[in-house]
Structure 1
Amino acid sequence: MFISLKNLLLLGALIGIASCSKQDSAATNAGTTKQSSLHWAAPQDQLTVEVNDSLDVSLSIDGMWGLHEYTLQLLDSENQEVYYEGDHSHQWTFELERKIALAPYGPGSYSLLFRATNHNNELLEKKCVVQVNP
């Protein structure tokens, strides 16, 4: 099983901090960018985060994994859904690129959650927490 999940980028002016695992976190100041990487299936599979006012989601899953269905959710600090998409997508190669504006939701803590199952109903679940400051 090979999973390639690449590049979750927050683009634009830096406005907060982000963390993508219990161990990894990144902080930003004006003019300074630090990144946090989360290794998922293998050392080369990374989720990279930079903080900004919009969320650019770019990911792909290698064809050997065989995607069956997926969901992508953005939840606020009270676990209320502010963005959702999902599909039954019988594909061996899967790529997704979305831009989610954070500005309409205001400051606070948000969770980006990606879930996918393959043809054997094996679950891939990844989460990234983004803190947007006023």
Structure 2
Amino acid sequence: MSRLGYATHSNSVTRFKEERAAFISNLEANANTLRDHPHAAGEVADSLYGLVDQVRRIKVAAVAMDAIRSDPYVRAKPYAFYSHEVPLMCKDVVASLLHWADILVNTDGRRTDDIVVQSIRQMLVSLRF
């Protein structure tokens, strides 16, 4: 593999890992903020809406990375995991983010902060990519 190929390969994997780590960190921060300050539900909802773009970047990075099967990180998952499975998972993550943001601002008089915190925690535990 040429040095240029290696750089592209390394950058693709690094980009995916960085996008994933940033998303997880931001999602944890939202859960912690909401847990510690339930009155910040509107701000957390805005932040959850903002995470949709971050999930889209994860999806793009995953698809690009999957084309490079020579990396052990990519080979550790089944063939086409990052180009097929991760985009499907990202679609579900986006749906959850939008749902949580919506129930935080459209509460119908109910407290929804704890439900969202628990749901975020569950997602963080079960995230497969």
- TM-score w.r.t. structure 1 length? 0.29
Structure scoring higher RCO (CA < 8 A, sep ≥ 6) equals: 2
- Of Structure 1 and Structure 2, the greater helix share is in 2
- Of Structure 1 and Structure 2, the greater strand share is in 1
Indicate the structure (1 or 2) with the bigger Cα radius of gyration: 2
